[in-house]
Amino acid sequence: MKIKITVNGELFNKHVPNDMMLLDFLRKYGFHSVKRGCDTSNCGLCTVWVEGKPVLSCSYPAVRADGKSVTTLEGLRPQAEEFGRFLVAQGAEQCGYCSPGFIMTVLAMEQELEDPTEEEILRYLSGNLCRCSGYTGQMRAIRAWLQHRKEQKGGEQA
């Protein structure tokens, strides 16, 4: 089927197999941040945004994204790099394989939740699995980064 998908602001007018998943579409056209982890709709590694909402690209039909706007980590480079520095500062990047999907969800969380509690952060991120860590390094990084973002926003308002 012929579809038009906007990825990170760039329009892709492509002919795709009807059973192609968005993950395979994105990787085919060079968005290699998108990783296949479990491929069973569970681990969160393949997380991208469709119309600004985090979804599992391994389970999202590419054809369904026709006419929609998709965002991958490549499209959020400044934000991803900023948060990445907080991850590194806490030694939480580890092997890095789960990082793209994890960062996509963290950035979505920051847009969706205002001043989240620890419990709310854990709930929002429970769909992103990391096999290296016990998540405590990531939690330290998230708290430090959210504080930093809050101060930035406070500065903008003042």
Partner 1 sequence: MYTIKSYVFPQSLEEAYELLTKSPRNNLILGGCCWLKMGSRRIQTAIDLTRLGLDEIRAADGWVEIGANVSLRRLETDPILKRRFGGILGKSVSSIVGVQFRNCATVGGSVFSRFGFSDVTCALLALEATVVLHHAGELPLADFMALPIRCDDILVKVRIPDDGRTAAYESMRRSSTDFPLLAAAVSRRGDAWTVSVGARPAMACRSQAAERALEAGQGAAAAGDAAAAELTFGSNLRGSAAYRQELARVLVRRAAETCMEGGNGQ
Q: Residue 50 is inside which H or E element, if any?
A: strand 47-50
Q: Tell me: does residue 21 bind partner 1 (CB under 8 A).
A: yes
81, two tokens: 């790099």
Strand pairing category for 69-71 and 2-7: parallel
Q: Tell me: does residue 37 bind partner 1 (CB under 8 A).
A: no
| CB distance 86 to 149 below 8 Å | no
Q: Tell me: does residue 36 bind partner 1 (CB under 8 A).
A: no
Q: Tell me: does residue 1 bind partner 1 (CB under 8 A).
A: yes
What phi and psi, each to the nearest 5 degrees, are found at residue 3? -135, 160
Q: How far is the CB of 84 from partner 1 (least distance, A)?
A: 20
Work out which of 59, 69, 79, 133 binds partner 1, going by CB under 8 A.
59
Q: How far is the CB of 64 from partner 1 (least distance, A)?
A: 6
Q: Return the residues of window 117-156 that contact partner 1 according to CB under 8 A.
A: 123-128
**Burial class of residue 88 (count of CB atoms within 10 Å of its CB; 0-12, 13-18, 19+):** exposed
Residues lying near partner 1 in the complex (CB under 8 A) are found at: 1, 18-19, 21, 40-42, 44, 47, 53-56, 58-61, 63-64, 66, 105, 108-109, 123-128
